[in-house]
């Protein structure tokens, strides 16, 4: 079957900060987060079909069997259009804190909306699929607040920044991480200044937090090992966990430094998932 459109990229979502500022009566947590995206991710392809279907390929396919409640299928059903055969080329590790499932659902919404010449779905529909789907639908640097529905542009363009993503192969259930968080009412993120360089960005980020890092590390101590491995690399400006883990990122000023760090970490830990890339504008 021929592709109905070019493959849609589903970039990894990185929480450069993640402040947990409260909890609603329905249990949902309130967040204040600086969210960016990397040039590392999955791909969604569409083909003509008589019934809606999903196939999963790629290096991480074995970790994600096809099930009826896959977010990609749920996203397609939410738009309620003609049937298509969807292929998810899976590169991002699952349950890893970099928005893989949400990014895939958002890419499905973008691809189908373009195919059917429809506007992108509103935030309410995206939010029903998951708290990270609205921000992944836009896939650009944003400040995310509330439960994921309050999205605001940044006051300035972020400087060119390279990164290395590392996942130790440990999946962590997000509800368990939130349950282990001792305080649910923490201060929000400070207002962002302008940043001239990646080093400026990293220095400011070091004054902010990921409130889920400590509880996630209590559940998966290897996160501390991953952060230490990143921080030890030449040129690493900041090492931190993304989302609810267990993926961590290291920020670098140059692609050369990031690539060298990827090579060294991958050689020292061949069982870890390690990818170098850069932040998307």
13, 90, 227, 275: the active-site residue: 13
pLDDT per position as a tens digit, 80-121? 899 999 999 999 999 899 999 999 999 999 999 999 999 999
Tracing tokens 């994921």 back to the chain, one arrives at 148
pLDDT per position as a tens digit, 50-88? 999 999 999 999 999 999 999 999 999 999 899 999 999
Domain ranges of the chain: 8-153, 162-278
Check whether domain 8-153 has CATH 3.90.380.10, yes or no? no
Judge whether 13 counts as a catalytic residue. Answer: yes
Under CATH, which number does the domain 162-278 receive?
3.30.70.890
Assessment of whether the complete model's pTM goes beyond 0.85: yes
32, 42, 104, 132: the active-site residue: 132
Judge whether 227 counts as a catalytic residue. Answer: no
């Amino acid at each position: 079957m021929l592709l109905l459109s070019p493959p849609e990229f589903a970039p990894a979502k990185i929480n450069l900060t993640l402040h947990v500022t409260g909890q609603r009566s329905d249990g949902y947590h309130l967040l204040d987060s600086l969210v960016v995206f990397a040039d590392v991710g999955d791909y969604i392809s569409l083909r003509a079909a008589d019934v809606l279907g999903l196939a999963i390929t790629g290096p991480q396919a074995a970790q994600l069997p096809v099930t009826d409640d896959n977010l990609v299928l749920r996203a397609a059903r939410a738009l309620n259009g003609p049937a298509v055969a969807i292929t998810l080329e899976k590169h991002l590790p699952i349950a890893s804190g970099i928005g893989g499932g949400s990014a895939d659902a958002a890419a499905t919404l973008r691809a189908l909306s373009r195919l059917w010449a429809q506007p992108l779905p509103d935030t309410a529909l995206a939010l029903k699929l998951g708290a990270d789907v609205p921000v992944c639908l836009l896939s650009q640097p944003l400040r995310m607040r509330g439960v994921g529905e309050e999205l605001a542009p940044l006051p300035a363009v972020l400087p060119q920044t390279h990164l290395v993503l590392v996942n130790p192969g440990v999946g962590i259930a997000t509800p368990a991480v939130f349950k282990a968080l001792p305080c649910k009412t923490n201060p929000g993120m400070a207002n962002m200044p302008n940043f001239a360089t990646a080093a400026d960005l990293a220095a400011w980020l070091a004054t902010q937090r990921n409130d889920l890092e400590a509880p996630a590390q209590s559940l998966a101590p290897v996160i501390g090992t991953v952060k230490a491995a990143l921080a030890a690399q030449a040129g690493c400006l900041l090492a931190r966990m993304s989302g609810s883990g267990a993926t961590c990122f290291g920020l670098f000023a140059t692609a050369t430094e990031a690539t060298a760090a990827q090579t060294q970490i991958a050689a020292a830990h061949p069982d870890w998932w390690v990818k170098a890339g850069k932040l998307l504008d």
